[in-house]
Amino acid sequence: MKVKVGINGYGTIGKRIAFAIAKQDDMEVVGVTKTRPSYEARLAIKEGIPLYAARPEHIEAFEKDGIKVAGTLEDLLSKVDIIVDATPGDVGAVYKPMYEKAGVKAIFQGGEKHGVAGISFNSFANYHEAWGARFVRVVSCNTTGLIRTLYPIDKVFGIEKVFAALIRRGADPADRKGAALNAIEPTLKLPTHHGPDVQTIMPWLNIQTMAVVTPTTQMHIHCLAVDLKKKAKDEDILSVWDKVPRIKFVSGKHGIKSSAQIMELARDLNRPRGDFMEIIVWEDGVKVVNSTLYYYQAVHQESDVIPENIDCIRAMMKLERDPMRSIRKTDRSLGIGK
Amino acid sequence: MKVKVGINGYGTIGKRIAFAIAKQDDMEVVGVTKTRPSYEARLAIKEGIPLYAARPEHIEAFEKDGIKVAGTLEDLLSKVDIIVDATPGDVGAVYKPMYEKAGVKAIFQGGEKHGVAGISFNSFANYHEAWGARFVRVVSCNTTGLIRTLYPIDKVFGIEKVFAALIRRGADPADRKGAALNAIEPTLKLPTHHGPDVQTIMPWLNIQTMAVVTPTTQMHIHCLAVDLKKKAKDEDILSVWDKVPRIKFVSGKHGIKSSAQIMELARDLNRPRGDFMEIIVWEDGVKVVNSTLYYYQAVHQESDVIPENIDCIRAMMKLERDPMRSIRKTDRSLGIGK
Amino acid sequence: MKVKVGINGYGTIGKRIAFAIAKQDDMEVVGVTKTRPSYEARLAIKEGIPLYAARPEHIEAFEKDGIKVAGTLEDLLSKVDIIVDATPGDVGAVYKPMYEKAGVKAIFQGGEKHGVAGISFNSFANYHEAWGARFVRVVSCNTTGLIRTLYPIDKVFGIEKVFAALIRRGADPADRKGAALNAIEPTLKLPTHHGPDVQTIMPWLNIQTMAVVTPTTQMHIHCLAVDLKKKAKDEDILSVWDKVPRIKFVSGKHGIKSSAQIMELARDLNRPRGDFMEIIVWEDGVKVVNSTLYYYQAVHQESDVIPENIDCIRAMMKLERDPMRSIRKTDRSLGIGK
Amino acid sequence: MKVKVGINGYGTIGKRIAFAIAKQDDMEVVGVTKTRPSYEARLAIKEGIPLYAARPEHIEAFEKDGIKVAGTLEDLLSKVDIIVDATPGDVGAVYKPMYEKAGVKAIFQGGEKHGVAGISFNSFANYHEAWGARFVRVVSCNTTGLIRTLYPIDKVFGIEKVFAALIRRGADPADRKGAALNAIEPTLKLPTHHGPDVQTIMPWLNIQTMAVVTPTTQMHIHCLAVDLKKKAKDEDILSVWDKVPRIKFVSGKHGIKSSAQIMELARDLNRPRGDFMEIIVWEDGVKVVNSTLYYYQAVHQESDVIPENIDCIRAMMKLERDPMRSIRKTDRSLGIGK
C-alpha cells in the first residue's frame, strides 16, 4: 500500500512535489491545499488532484469562483500519513499545531527555522536522522546546494574552512514582487544565515557566508573558496563529484556560460517544467590554488529540494533504509542523471 | 514514405522544428547543420540526429572538439526533399543558391525578406498559396501573431484599420547579447516593418505599427486598436477567437497577469520546453469601445511559428490539401489545444 | 514677501519640488514632513530644511534615531500659505481634512483622484483655472506628458482621435518593490485611466489608451497615433513643438536611441539629479501617414511635473497672471531649455 | 602656467576626466578626440572643448554631419604636455606608438595591460612611482576599489590573505550591448585577473578573486573576506577607513540598502552626473569574526578612477610632491568628502 501524502500549499514547491510523488510507486498524493482560487488551484483540479481549502474561511472565495473544494486542511489531515508543508516561509510554524493535533508526520521546508522540526535533512549527509521521525525540515535550496558539493569534498579531502559568496536570484520567474529592478543588494547582517543553516546538518563545518540579491529570476550562483586538509588537484575534485548523484557538470567551453544557458539546457533536455534538480558545477570553473579549492555552482531555486523531499518521505515513513537506494530510486523516477 | 526534411541551423527555431517533425507521421528529419561545435551540436548528436557542418571550413572545429559530423550542408541537401532554413536573419538569402543548385524545396523564416521566397505563409490565411511551391517564407513570430488574431476578425466583422504597438522582448532567454539592460528603445523608423510584413499575407489590410524593445526575455506583447466595419460586442470577439485553433485565452482574474506568468503556465502544463505555440489573448483585456476593438496579446517568440512550419511543409510537399486538417493534425501531435 | 510653502512628503516628488522652490524668488520652503527617519529625512536636515513629523505618533521614531523634528504636520500647516501634498497615491485625500481645517491652500499630485481637488492642472492648457483656487491637482507624469505634446497639436491642427500605448517603467530607480523582474504586464482594465485623466484637462479630446508595465526604471515611453483634422507634414509638427517650452527633441541619428541614453544626456548636461523635466520627442521618430501622426515620446516620471507644481503655486497664489511668463520664469530658474 | 592635457576618447571616462580637469587650477584640457560624430562629440563642442578626429579617416564622417573638427589626434598631440588615453580596453596599446613619437607623456586606463605603461597607479599606494614618469596606467575601477579599502587595512593590521567575490554590473547605463538580460554569468577562468591586477600595485598581497556578471547598470559590489594579522574589532576597521579620503560610509539602517539607493543618494547630494567617486562601504555590513574581516563595498564603475587620473597627472608632471596634498586638492575641487 502506498504512503498517503498531503501537500499544504500548492505553489512553486508544492506543485513540484506533487508532480514528483506521482512518479513514485511507494507514495501518492491524496490532496493539496490552496488559500485562494488562483490558476494553480485550477491546475490541481485539472490534474485530478483533490483540492482543499487551507482554512474554512477560504471556502467562500473558492465557491464564488465556481471551484468546489474537497474540504479543508483539517479534512485532508485526517486522510494522510504525512503532510508536506510547502507554505511560505515561517508559515509552516503556524500550521504545526494542526499537524500535531491530527497526529500526522510533517515535512517542513527551508523557509522554516530548524527548531520547528528539530531535524534538518539532506539525503546524502544525514538520511538516517530522519528515520521514522515525526517532524523533519528539508533545508533551503541554497543550503541543499552547498551541502551537495561540500559534503563529499569534506569526506574525501577534509575541509578546514569554507567561504561562500551567494549571488541570489531576486525572485522566481512568475513573481510580481521581488528585488529592485536595477540594483544589487547585499545581505548586510553578517555572517548571513546560510552558514549556520549548513551547520544544522554539518555542525563540524567551519563555514562563513555573504550574500547579495540580483535582479534575475533563474538560479542562485555560489562562489566558493574551500581550504582543504588534504592535497587535491582540479581533476581529483571533479572525480569525486562525478561519482555523486545530483551534481551535474556543464562547461563554458561548450557554450554554457550563464545561469540562463543552464536553464536553456534543461529545456532542451526536455526536463519537466524546464527544471534542473541537480546542482550544476562548471567543470572549467574549478581550480585548486595551493590548498584552496575555488569553484562556482548554480542552484535551481525552484526545484533542487524536490528529490530531497521524496527521500525524506521515504526515511520518515521507513520505506527504504539505504539512503543511496532511495536517492537512486528517486533520481531514476524523475529523470535526474549525469 | 515520409518526406525527408533537413534543417539548416539548429538553434532556437531549428531545434524546435526538429522536435516537432519528430512528432509527425508524414515527415522525418534526416539531418541538421551547425557552424560551431556548440552545446546544441552535442544535443543533436545526443538526440540521434545526424549532424552536418554548414560549410566545409567548419569541419575542422568540430573534429578538434571531438565531434564527428556526417558531412556538410551540401551532403545533407542531397538527401532531403525539403530544407528548412533556420539560419539567422538575412543569412537564408545567402544559402538560397545552394538550395536551388541542389534542386530541393526550401522554407525560409521571417528574418528573411519576402522576396527571398516570393510567397509568405500563414496556415490560416493562405495555406493554398504554398501548395507545391518551391520556396516559401514562414513569417516572423510577431507577424504570425498579428495574423492569427486579425485574420478571423477581418473575416467575420471586417477591419477598417489596425494600429498595433508592439512591445518586444529584448533577447531570447539564453542570448548573451541583446537589448540594453535598463532601457526602453523605440524603433524610430516609422511605420515599422511589421505592418508591411502582415500585408505580404493580407495585402488588403490597412495596418500601421510602432514598436519598442524592452529588457525582457519572455514573449512580445501587442497592444491593438482595430476599427471594425461591423458592430461587435466583447463577447462576439471572444467567441470568434474561441473557435479558431492556436489562440488561447488567459485571464488576469485567475492570476495570469504578465508574460512571465503565461510562461509559468506553459511549464505547469508540461508543454515541451515550456513553450506556448498558441497566441495568448487576455480574455479580460478585450474591449470594444464604439466601433474600435482594443486587445492585448502575447506572442512566444521562440515557438509560435513552429506549427506553421510543419503545415508549410505539408502544403509544399502536397501531403494534405485541406488547411484545417493539417492544422488539427499538427496541433494534436504537439499538444496544442484550448 | 515670498509665499510660504510646506511640502507634505519628502520623497521622489517632494524633494524635487523643494529643490525647485529654492531656485525661485517669489516662494520659499518653510518645512517638509517625513513619516520615518529615513536617509531622506537626514538629507532635509543636511540641506537646512526644517523637518516635521507627518503625524505625532512618528516623533518617537525620529527621536530614537537622534533626529530632532521641528514639530508635526499640524505645526507646519500653521506656518504656510500653501501646502504641496507629495504623499503616495490616494494618501493626499486622507490628509485633505487637515489642510481644510488649517485653512491653507493645497496642491495634490496625480496619484490622487480628480475629485480631491476638483481642478486638474497643466501649465499650458488651463493655468487660469487654478487662479486663486483653494485646491488643485497637478496631473500625473504620464498625463502631463500627453498634454504637453497633444495640446499644441490640437490647437494648430485639430485632433480627431488619439490612441496612445503607454510603455511604463516598472519602478523608480531606488525602489525596492515594483514590477516583476523579467515580464511585461498589461493593464487589463480597458480603456486605461490615462485617457480619462487627460480629459480632466482637455475634456473635448477623443482619446483611448492602453498600457503595459516593463522592468525598467528610467522613463515611460509613449507610442502615439493621432488622427488630425488638418493636413500636416512631419516638419509642420516638429515646428509647432519646437516653439513650445518643455518639449525637447533628441535624435536617434545622433546616438540617442533609448530611454537610458536620454537620461545619460541629462547627466552629461549636468541637469540637477540627472532629471529631464521636459518631454522628450525623437525628431526622427515623427511620421505623418495620410492624416495620422505617429510619434514616440519619453517622460521622466520623477521630474516632469516639477515645473508644473511651481507654476501651479504661482497661479493659486496669484503671483503671476500670464501663464507663459510663469512658465518662462520657472524654466529659466531650473535650467530647462531647448 | 597650466599643464596642457589632451584626452584621447571622449566617452564614459574621457568626458568625466575633462570635467574634472576643468575644476583644477594647475591643468587644462586643450582638446579631446572622437572617432564618430556621436552626441558626445556634439557635447564636447557645446562645452567649448576643441574636438579632434582620432584618425584622419574619421574626418569625413564628422564633416558629413556638419561638425568641424580642429584636426586629428596627431595635431592634438603636438599641443599637449600629457595625453590621457581613455579609449576602449586594449586600444590604448595601439595608440602608444603615436604618443611615443609625439614625445608626450601618457596615462592609460585599467582596460590596458600593466605592461603598456610598466607602472600601475593608485593615489594612496604608490603616488611616488609615477613621479615624473613617462607612461603610467591608472588601474581599473574594481582594482582601484579593492586597493582603496585594502591598502589602509594592510598598513594598520596586516593582511594574511584576501578573498574577494566581485559581483559586477553588466553594462554602463547607456550601453546598448552588455550582459544577458536575465542571467548571472561567472568568470570561469580562475583565479580572475582582478587579484593579479591588485598585485601590480601591492605585489606582496596574497589575494584571490572570483567574479560574476549580473544584469544591472549601477555599481559593482564586492564581497570581501580578509584574514588579518593583528586583532581588530568592527569599530577599529571603521575607524581606519573613516580617516582615509575617498571611502564613504552608508548605512542600511538609514535606508541605503542597494547599489541603486547609493546612486540615488549621489543624485540627492547633487553630485555632478550623479557620480560617486568614493568607494562606498556599508558600515552595518562590516564584521570581524575571529581574525577574518568581512565587508561589502560598492564601486561606481564610471567615476571612481577620475580623481586617481587627476592625481596621476600631478605626479607625472611633478606638480605636487606630497600625495595627500594632491588627493585633498583633487577631492576639494570635485566635491568629494565624507
DSSP designation for A272? G
What is the per-residue pLDDT for C337? 83
* pLDDT tens track for A186-209: 999 998 999 999 999 999 999 999
Sheet architecture: strand order including D105-108: D51-53, D27-34, D3-8, D82-85, D105-108, D135-138, D120-121
DSSP readout, A211-270?
EEEES--S-EEEEEEEEESS---HHHHHHHHHTSTTEEEE-GGGT--SHHHHHHHHHHTT
What distance in Å separates the CA atoms of residue A174 and residue C185, rounded to the nearest whole number?
11
- The number of distinct structural domains making up chain A is 2
Residue D338 pLDDT more than 70?
no
What is the per-residue pLDDT for A338? 65
Range 116-175 of A in CB contact (< 8 A) with C? 170-171, 173-175
Is A159 in the same domain as A255?
Answer: yes
Displacement of CA A298 from its chain's centroid (Å) = 13
Chain C neighbours (≥3 Cβ pairs under 8 A) are A, B, D
Residue C112 pLDDT more than 80?
yes
Q: Judge whether D260 is closer than 8 Å to chain B, CB to CB.
A: no
Residue of B nearest to A14 (CA): B268
- Mean pLDDT, range C212-221, rounded to an integer: 97
In chain D, residues with a C-beta closer than 8 Å to the C-beta of B175 are: 180-181
Chain D neighbours (≥3 Cβ pairs under 8 A) are A, B, C
Is D21 in the same domain as D160?
Answer: no
Taking a C-beta distance cutoff of 8 angstroms, is the pair C244, C276 a contact? no
| Residue D115 binned pLDDT confidence (cut-offs 50, 70, 90) | very high
* pLDDT tens track for D128-170: 999 999 999 999 999 999 999 999 999 999 999 999 999 999 9
Share of chain C above pLDDT 70, in %: 100
Is D80 in the same domain as D27?
Answer: yes
What distance in Å separates the CA atoms of residue C185 and residue D215, rounded to the nearest whole number?
20
Which residues, including other chains, have CB under 8 Å from residue D98's CB and lie 6 or more apart? D73, D74, D77
**Which three three-digit cell numbers place residue D163?**
578573498
Q: Which helix (H) or strand (E) holds A116?
A: helix A114-117
In chain D, residues with a C-beta closer than 8 Å to the C-beta of A237 are: none
Residue D306 pLDDT more than 80?
yes
In chain D, residues with a C-beta closer than 8 Å to the C-beta of C40 are: 255, 268
Count of C-D CB contacts under 8 Å: 69
Residue B193 pLDDT more than 70?
yes
Is A132 in the same domain as A90?
Answer: yes
In chain C, residues with a C-beta closer than 8 Å to the C-beta of B257 are: 185-186, 188
What is the per-residue pLDDT for B176? 83
Q: Can you name the residues that pair with A208 across neighbouring β-strands?
A: A163
* pLDDT tens track for D99-110: 999 999 999 999
- Mean pLDDT, range B44-51, rounded to an integer: 94
**Which three three-digit cell numbers place residue A218?**
533563474
- Mean pLDDT, range B87-114, rounded to an integer: 97
Q: How far is CA B97 from CA B74, B94, B103, in A?
A: 11, 7, 10
What does pLDDT average to over chain C?
A: 97
**Alpha-carbon torsion, ordered B230, B231, B235, B241, to 10 deg:** 10
- Mean pLDDT, range B291-303, rounded to an integer: 98
Inter-chain residue contact C273 with D273, CB threshold 8 Å: no
The C-alpha of B286 sits at a distance from chain A's nearest C-alpha, in angstroms, of 20
Is B45 in the same domain as B154?
Answer: no
In this prediction, the residues of chain A whose per-residue pLDDT falls under 50 are none
Is A166 in the same domain as A288?
Answer: yes
At B112, give phi and psi (nearest 5°).
Answer: -90, 160
Is A90 in the same domain as A26?
Answer: yes
What is the per-residue pLDDT for C338? 65
Question: Half-sphere exposure of residue B143, counting CA atoms within 13 Å on the CB side?
Answer: 29
What is the per-residue pLDDT for B338? 65
Is B109 in the same domain as B237?
Answer: no
Report the CATH number that the domain containing residue C12 is assigned in CATH.
3.40.50.720
- Mean pLDDT, range B223-247, rounded to an integer: 98
Taking a C-beta distance cutoff of 8 angstroms, is the pair B6, B76 a contact? yes
**Which three three-digit cell numbers place residue D275?**
557620480
Nearest to A8 by CA among A160, A112, A141: A112
- Mean pLDDT, range D215-243, rounded to an integer: 98
Q: Cis ω on the peptide bond leading into residue C191 (within 30° of 0)?
A: yes
What is the per-residue pLDDT for D281? 98
**Which three three-digit cell numbers place residue A319?**
520505506
The C-alpha of B174 sits at a distance from chain D's nearest C-alpha, in angstroms, of 8
Is A123 in the same domain as A174?
Answer: no
Is D93 in the same domain as D148?
Answer: no
Domain residue limits at B293: 141-299
CA angle C201, C206, C212 (to 5 degrees): 85
Report the CATH number that the domain containing residue B156 is assigned in CATH.
3.30.360.10
Does residue D96 come out as left (phi exceeding 0), alpha (psi in the -120 to 50 range) or beta? alpha
Residue D178 pLDDT more than 90?
no
Is D124 in the same domain as D166?
Answer: no
**Which three three-digit cell numbers place residue B48?**
540521434
Is A256 in the same domain as A327?
Answer: no
Taking a C-beta distance cutoff of 8 angstroms, is the pair C215, C182 a contact? yes
What is the per-residue pLDDT for C89? 93
- Mean pLDDT, range B49-53, rounded to an integer: 97
What is the per-residue pLDDT for D39? 87
- End-to-end, the C-alpha distance of chain C in Å comes to 32
What is the per-residue pLDDT for A177? 79
**Which three three-digit cell numbers place residue B198?**
502582415
Inter-chain residue contact A180 with D260, CB threshold 8 Å: yes
Predicted TM-score (pTM) of the model is 0.97
